[in-house]
Structure 1
Amino acid sequence: MTDAVDGVSELRAWLIEEVARRTAADPWQVDPAVPFTALGLTSRGATELTGALEIHMGRPVPTLLAWQYPTIDTLARHLVTGAHPAAAAGRAPVAAAPAGRSFPR
């Protein structure tokens, strides 16, 4: 369990730095519980973030994960443990964004 917690913490810290860089914010201003859209990440930024995640993690990361896990906390937890927060709470998983939909700019 400690390895998973450490892995989530490390990925969370990396994501905070990446989102801060992509939104021109200071890392301390990036709340990992706030949705990417509220942090100022555009659809292009989310796509670029998943590309950077692929490089960082050394494995494929589907672009839709930024929509399915819309916060740093949920995305990091899912990528490290495979956990889905809605399933744990007894709710159905969040559906992917319909074709043509994107983050607000």
Structure 2
Amino acid sequence: MAIDPLINIAKATQLYNQAQQSGIATNTIPQQDGQTAGQSGFSSLVSNYLGQAEKLGQTSEQLAIQGVQNQANLTDVVTAVSEAEMTLQTVVAIRDKVVDAYKEILRMPM
């Protein structure tokens, strides 16, 4: 059974937001990238980057299909696939750090 990293990150951000709203976690991340004042800092930041990663993956997939059909430049296909691979590695690394931080929070004494 495959583990979907997007679900794990979404669950971690949801738990972080619950902790922040309950007063357990009081620190916030400064607003970035045109974020509105009503959005939660961390969850919107992660959601924004996940959306960008998804778009990049879709673009590279489309370019790969065009490359197989001989409709795209091979250099563009390789570049897009490499970018998608790096983005996926970054998302997985962020997920791992969020999960590690969550585990560390669970180990803290109450």
In the superposition, the TM-score normalised over structure 1's length comes to 0.32
- Tell which structure's C-alpha radius of gyration is larger: 2
In the superposition, the TM-score normalised over structure 2's length comes to 0.31
